[in-house]
Every structure is written in C-alpha cells, then in structure tokens.
Amino acid sequence: MPSPPDAVCATTGLLNTLSPDEIAGVIGHELAHVRSHDTLTMTITATIAGAISMLAQFGMFFRGGGRGNNGGLGIVGSILMLILAPLAAMIVQMAISRAREYAADNLGARISGRPDALASALVKISRIAEGVPNDTAEAHPTTAPLFIVNPLSGRGMDNLFSTHPSTENRIAALEKLSREMRLDSFGAGAPAGGSRSPGPWG
C-alpha cells in the first residue's frame, strides 16, 4: 500500500508576515526536511533515546537487587548509568536535530535560490517567537523540533540541550552559502529583493 504524499503548508500568519521571497525560503527549508526524511530520522533517534532510558531503568532495577560484596559499588554504578545514559542519549538527539536544521537551511536556500531571503525570514520569525509566548510548546517541549526556530524560552544560544542552532549561527552559515553561490549582496533582516534570480519559485 503506497504511503500518503508529504505536504508542506503555510499559516496565514506566515503569509501575512513574510515577503514572497522569504516565504519561498521557508517552504524550501521545509521541503528540504521532507526530501531528507528528517521526520523519520528524528523519530528513530527519539525512539533509540527512549529505549536507552528504559534500559538504564531496567539496569537499575536488576542490578540494584543483587547481593554480594560488590553490591554497594553495583548500586552506585547503576545510579550513574540511570542518570548518565539518558542524558547522553538526549545530548546526541539534540545534536542530530541541530545538524538537520543546518542541512535543511542549506538545501532550502539552494531550492529557493535565495539564502538571504531565508536568513531574513529566520530573523523575523525569531523576533516573533521571542516576543510571543508559546504556552503549548512550553508545556510540550518535545514538539520543539517541529518549529523552524526554537519556540522555547531561555534558549538564546546554541547549547547541548537545544533542538535548533541559534539564529545568529544559522544566518552566518547562510551568509557563507551566499558567498559560495556568488550572490552579489546579503541583507539578512532586510526585505528581500533586488535583481537576482528568484530561483524556481518565480
């Protein structure tokens, strides 16, 4: 049975806030996620991280009940495993998520043909995300990877537990890509425009 087709949608808020070139950059970013099967990748990663956490809990349960001269050391080791194994799995999961965002920015900018427009869109969306509380995302932080920028508060810079790179670092990467594509200027944060090729979006 064939799988249902993937779809990328835009909210009215996005359409009313961004310019056509910026919207093309955002859509390109999301199409890049689809093309790279990032949802599947992150689902598998999250499943493995959850399995590691469960195995650590099982290890604590079974080793904690042992008897012997090294019982004390075994319990200490089990407690450390219970704490460190899920922590390490979560750090790896977040690192993969950040890497996929950089990759989607790169491919999305190539799809739209306008790295500067995607950077401008990221600036606008980040400012809105910082100024408008997202109670739903705060209550369910596991949904953060579904957003184009980190919707959670207190995540102003790259760190081990962030699902997204900082906007500044993403813009720097797009600026580098812009130079590689030999675009004549780069204006992140300014309205996208000019005489350059608008890419496949027309």
> Closest by alpha carbon to 109, among 95, 127, 122, 125?
122
> Do residues 36 and 111 make contact, with C-beta atoms less than 8 angstroms apart?
no
* Residue 190: band (very low, low, confident or very high) from pLDDT cuts 50, 70, 90: very low
What pTM, to 2 d.p., does this model score? 0.72
Percent of the chain with pLDDT over 90: 32
Residues catalogued as catalytic: 30
Place of tokens 């899920």: 86
Domains of the chain, by residue range, sit at 12-187
Check pLDDT > 90 for residue 57: no
Of 50 and 202, the structure prediction assigns the larger pLDDT to: 50
Place of tokens 């950077």: 119
Summarize pLDDT for 90-136 with one digit per residue, the tens. 888 888 889 999 999 999 999 999 999 999 999 999 998 888 877 88
Check pLDDT > 90 for residue 4: no
